[in-house]
Amino acid sequence: MTIGEVELHAMLLTASVAAACAVPGVFLVLRRLAMVSDAMGHVLLFGIVVAYGVVGSLDSLWLKVGAVLSALLTVILVEQLQRTRLLREDAALGLVFPALFSAGVLISSLYFRNTHLDVDQVLLGHVEFAARWDALPMLGLLALNLLLVVGFYRTLKLTTFDPTLATMLGFAPVAVHYCLMAMASVTVVAAFDAVGPILVGAFVVLPAITARLFVDRLGPMIALAVGFAIFGAALGVRLAFSFATNTAGMAAATCGLVYLIAFLLSPKRGLIAVWLRRRRLRQAWLQALDAHG
């Protein structure tokens, strides 16, 4: 079994995308914001289309800026809607992101039909065409994300697990929240070229919840999540090339498979471990009952 050069580049790119996404992913999952990553992915198209309409060029950094802004716009809109207290968080999210996504699809099919802004490609990514150095910016982003998390580790930890105490001690949970959202949206935007905006969520959410099955501490959870992300993505690319199918989809599905295996086999929370533990307890109980007549 040999791995071709194209496949190797795709593997490098997907693995670095997955690892970079897994870092903010841990915090999103712990802060119950997992669905926000899904929403962010959906609204990128809107930002890109609007930025394209304004700038008029496809190879522009402005498209990325537009995408990041649209992700942040979603976060702000959801929070503002929630603050009216007329609807709850889940409903606000469910109202905002389909609307922005629709606006994106509508504008692109009305005005940009004949350009290269291909909705299918924007949606599904094209990691198959990865070139030699494509993984470098993603590796840089991974390094930046890790650096930020290590640098602000205690702040992040405190605001994630006890926002009230964090406020009392003079930290600013709201500011930290927005910084985290900015980090997540920049990462998602950087990643979506490769894997498409909807499936970016796979690398944000799945490694984090897989890691959570094994550990209860934040540091190890981040490290494990990055590890699972790299493993799942690399394996996904391998499988995609053997079955000749969409790489991003396969990488997402493989991360799901990794979760499923962990779900069964994790020594602490796994289905089998819990079942065995319960059985042992039950038998110990029965024996104790017998012994005491």
- Decide if residue 248 touches other proteins (CB under 8 A): yes
- Contacting other proteins (CB under 8 A), which of 57, 109, 242, 287? 109
CA distance linking residue 209 with residue 213, whole number of Å = 7
238 binds other proteins per the rule CB under 8 A: no
Which segment (53-61, 102-110, 158-166, 284-292) binds other proteins by CB under 8 A?
102-110
Contact between 102 and other proteins (CB under 8 A)? yes
Residue with tokens 């982003």: 141
The verdict on 223 binding other proteins (CB under 8 A) reads no
**Residue reference for tokens 């065409």:** 129
With CA atoms as reference, report the closest residue to 203 among 141, 129, 121.
141
- Residue numbers 63-82 binding other proteins by CB under 8 A: 81
From residue 39 to residue 58, the character string flagging contacts with other proteins as x (rule: CB under 8 A) and all else as - is ---x----------------
Contacts with 216 (C-beta within 8 Å, 6 or more apart), sequence order: none
Q: Which residue from 181, 135, 140 is spatially nearest to 24, judged by alpha carbons?
A: 181
> Exposure of 154 by Cβ count < 10 A (0-12 exposed, 13-18 middle, 19+ buried)?
exposed
Name the residue among 212, 209, 222 with its Cα closest to residue 149. Answer: 222
How far apart are the C-alpha atoms of 52 and 62, rounded to whole Å?
A: 8
By CB under 8 A, the residues from 151 to 210 that bind other proteins are 196, 198-199, 201-202, 204-206, 208-209
Q: How many residues bind other proteins (CB under 8 A)?
A: 60
Of 81 and 186, nearer to other proteins (C-beta) is 81
Q: How far is the CB of 49 from other proteins (least distance, A)?
A: 12
Q: What residue spans of 84-130 are helical by DSSP H?
A: 89-111, 119-124
Q: Which of residues 9, 47, 67, 101 is near other proteins by CB under 8 A?
A: 101
What the block records as the tokens of 57 is: 């060029």
Residue with tokens 């999210």: 93
List interacting residues with other proteins (CB under 8 A).
29, 32-35, 37-38, 42, 81, 84, 86-88, 90-91, 93-95, 98-99, 101-103, 105-106, 109-110, 113, 120, 123-124, 196, 198-199, 201-202, 204-206, 208-209, 212-213, 240, 243-246, 248-253, 255-256, 259, 263, 269, 271
